[in-house]
């Protein structure tokens, strides 16, 4: 049996997962790959750091050239995270004619085109299945199984941290802070959770999915983004009252060549399959013009699920080492005219406002909404004989621009204390 040497750049959670999988499942991996895949070097910053896996000391190095200059190493697995020096190291590995596997969503979302181009130029394979949705094989699904389809839209729960928090708020009546703390205690959220809870992580992944499905290179900064930090217990309760569940959704749609991209909290019907994706699980709903709708579901994060996707890419390279994988090309994007501005998108909306309890308040706000072509589906007022009460409106489908103009005018009213929250409502029909 041939021996294939690989190297890891990084030994954090994902790197530890890759090491553990290759050690634990060695017989299955040998049988399926036809090779003896061995880790020969692991690059770390601090060789004395305590780690979650027991690694032989001779595998550890702090010098990247020990990997790049070793001709016996055929595959480099980047699991460091961040842009620098991860991108530099991957390009250097490619120029040394080494195949590269990565789980780095930030690098792929921001510099993926350059990395793919370099891999093509150097004649090596570049795989990144683990960069989106952990163990869910979404990238190979789009690149292989759905190639006969024109993909029309992708809607997904692609951040496990926010899904865990929203699940705890919905099922266990936790407030946001308590749910976040529990997510951190379980290792689902970082000490600084900004990337997850404010939607940045989901934006990076959506950028990658957009590139895969539509061949459109979209700067993540151009994707509309809202996080979940403004969602509180009152919004969760109103969602339940209306028969909805709140999820952080990543959405991309192709509407006759106009691409719509957005990441934001969304109320969806409680009976919809995505509404029942709980805890740290991810799910991605894809609509193709031939296959219709299909959904992929599984663990979206964690050392072993993500490590599983990384090792699968390594096995894919070993099996097809003479068949470079360059599935992405900008030719797909020829029919895409532009990215739709957010004010041009349409949705139903949940609007929660705190107002003074005075006669005529509800009528005045309803009149402003109507003047901007916002039709109301339902109105709820909570609180009586108090200085301030809560008004909740759910609209029919309307332009985001109409909502923005309405809210600007409503905010100027003397009896309005605060527009507490605005959440889009998707019927998911």
- What pLDDT score was predicted for residue 333? 47
Residue 373 Rama label (left phi>0; alpha psi -120 to 50; beta): left
One digit per residue, the tens of pLDDT, for the chain of length 429 reads 789 999 999 998 889 999 999 999 999 999 888 889 999 999 999 988 888 888 999 999 999 999 999 999 999 999 998 999 999 999 999 999 999 999 999 999 998 889 989 999 999 999 988 888 777 878 778 877 787 788 999 999 999 999 999 999 999 999 999 999 999 998 788 889 999 999 999 999 999 899 888 887 788 999 999 999 999 999 999 999 999 999 999 999 998 889 999 999 999 999 999 999 999 899 999 998 888 999 999 887 677 888 888 998 999 898 876 554 444 444 444 556 689 999 999 999 999 999 999 889 999 999 999 999 999 999 998 877 788 999 999 999 999 999 999 999 999 999 999 999 999 999 876
Burial class (CB in 10 A: 0-12, 13-18, 19+), 263: buried
Matching residue, tokens 């589906």? 377
**Residue 135 · residue 14 · CB < 8 Å:** no
d(CA 231, CA 66): 49
The structural domains of the chain, with segments of one domain joined by +, span 2-133+304-327, 138-300, 343-425
> Which runs of E-coded beta strand occur in 289-341?
292-299, 338-339
- Which residues line the annotated binding site for NADP(+)? 9-16
Among the listed residues 379, 375, 328, the one whose alpha carbon sits nearest the alpha carbon of residue 348: 375
Pairing label, strands 398-399, 346-356: antiparallel
Distance, CA of 84 to CA of 100 (rounded, Å) = 16
Assess if CATH 3.40.980.10 describes domain 2-133+304-327.
no
For residue 328, the 8-state DSSP code is -
CATH 3.30.360.10 is right for the domain spanning 138-300: yes
Q: Which residues pair with 144 in a beta bridge?
A: none
pTM: 0.88
Task: Annotate 1-37 with DSSP letters as a single string.
Answer: -EEEEEEEE--SHHHHHHHHHHHHTHHHHHHHHSEEE
- The residues annotated with a catalytic role in the active site are 205
Distance (Å, rounded) from C-alpha 165 to C-alpha 188? 10
Round to whole Å and give the CA distance between 14 and 295.
25
Contact at 8 Å (CB) between 68 and 95?
Answer: no
Cis bond upstream, residue 85 (ω within 30):
yes
Q: Are 153 and 293 in contact (CB under 8 A)?
A: no
- The domain 343-425 is placed in CATH, from the list 3.30.70.260, 3.40.50.1450, 3.30.70.2740, 3.30.1360.40, at 3.30.70.260
Q: What angle do CA 238, 177, 352 make, to 5 degrees?
A: 30
| 69-83 per-residue burial string, b: 16 or more CB within 10 A, e: under 16 | ebeebbbbbbbbbee
Neighbours of 164 (CB within 10 A): 24
- Tell me the binding residues: 9-16, 105, 190
- Distance between CA 96 and CA 157 in Å, rounded? 37
Q: What is the pLDDT of residue 328?
A: 42
- Strands (E) across 10-120 are located at 35-43, 60-61, 73-78, 99-102
Annotated binding site for NADPH: 105
Q: How far apart are CA 203 and CA 19, in angstroms?
A: 29
What gap in Å lies between CA 401 and CA 403, rounded to an integer?
A: 5
Q: Which residues are annotated as a binding site for L-homoserine?
A: 190
372/403 Cα distance (integer angstroms): 8
Task: Note the pLDDT of residue 410.
Answer: 97
């Amino acid at each position: 049996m041939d021996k294939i040497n690989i190297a890891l750049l990084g030994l954090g959670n994902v790197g530890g997962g890759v090491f553990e999988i290759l050690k634990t499942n060695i017989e299955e991996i040998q049988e399926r790959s036809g090779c003896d895949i061995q880790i020969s070097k692991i690059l770390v910053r601090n060789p004395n750091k305590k780690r979650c896996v027991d690694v032989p000391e001779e595998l550890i190095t702090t010098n990247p050239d020990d990997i790049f200059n070793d001709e016996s190493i055929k595959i480099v697995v980047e699991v460091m995270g961040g842009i620098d020096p991860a991108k530099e190291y991957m390009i250097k590995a490619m120029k040394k004619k080494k195949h590269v596997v990565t789980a780095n969503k930030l690098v792929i979302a921001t510099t993926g085109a350059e990395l793919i181009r370099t891999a093509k130029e150097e004649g090596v394979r570049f795989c990144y299945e683990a960069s989106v949705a952990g163990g869910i094989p979404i990238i190979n699904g789009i690149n292989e199984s759905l190639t006969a389809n024109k993909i029309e839209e992708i809607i997904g729960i692609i951040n496990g941290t926010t899904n865990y928090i929203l699940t705890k708020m919905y099922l266990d009546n936790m407030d946001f802070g308590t749910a976040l703390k529990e997510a951190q205690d379980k290792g689902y959220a970082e000490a600084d959770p900004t990337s997850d809870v404010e939607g940045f992580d989901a934006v990076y992944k959506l950028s990658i999915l957009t590139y895969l499905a539509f061949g459109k290179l979209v700067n993540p900064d151009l994707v509309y983004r809202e996080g979940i930090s403004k969602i509180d217990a009152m919004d969760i309760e109103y969602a339940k009252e209306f028969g909805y569940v709140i999820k952080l959704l990543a959405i991309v749609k192709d509407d006759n060549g106009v691409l719509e991209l957005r990441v934001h909290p969304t109320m969806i019907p409680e009976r919809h399959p995505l509404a029942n994706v709980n805890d740290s699980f991810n799910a991605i709903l894809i609509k193709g013009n031939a296959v219709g709708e299909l959904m992929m579901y599984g663990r979206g994060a964690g050392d072993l699920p993500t490590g599983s996707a990384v090792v699968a890419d390594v096995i894919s390279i070993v099996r097809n080492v003479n068949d470079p994988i360059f599935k992405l090309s900008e030719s797909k994007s020829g029919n895409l005219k532009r990215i739709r501005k957010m004010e041009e998108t349409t949705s139903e909306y949940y609007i929660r406002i705190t107002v003074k309890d005075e006669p005529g308040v509800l009528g005045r706000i309803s009149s402003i909404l109507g003047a901007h072509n916002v039709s109301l589906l339902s109105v709820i007022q909570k609180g009586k004989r108090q200085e301030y009460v809560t008004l909740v409106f759910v609209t029919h489908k309307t332009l985001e621009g109409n909502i923005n103009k309405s809210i600007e005018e409503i905010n100027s009213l003397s009896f309005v204390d605060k527009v507490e929250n605005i959440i889009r409502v998707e019927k998911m029909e």
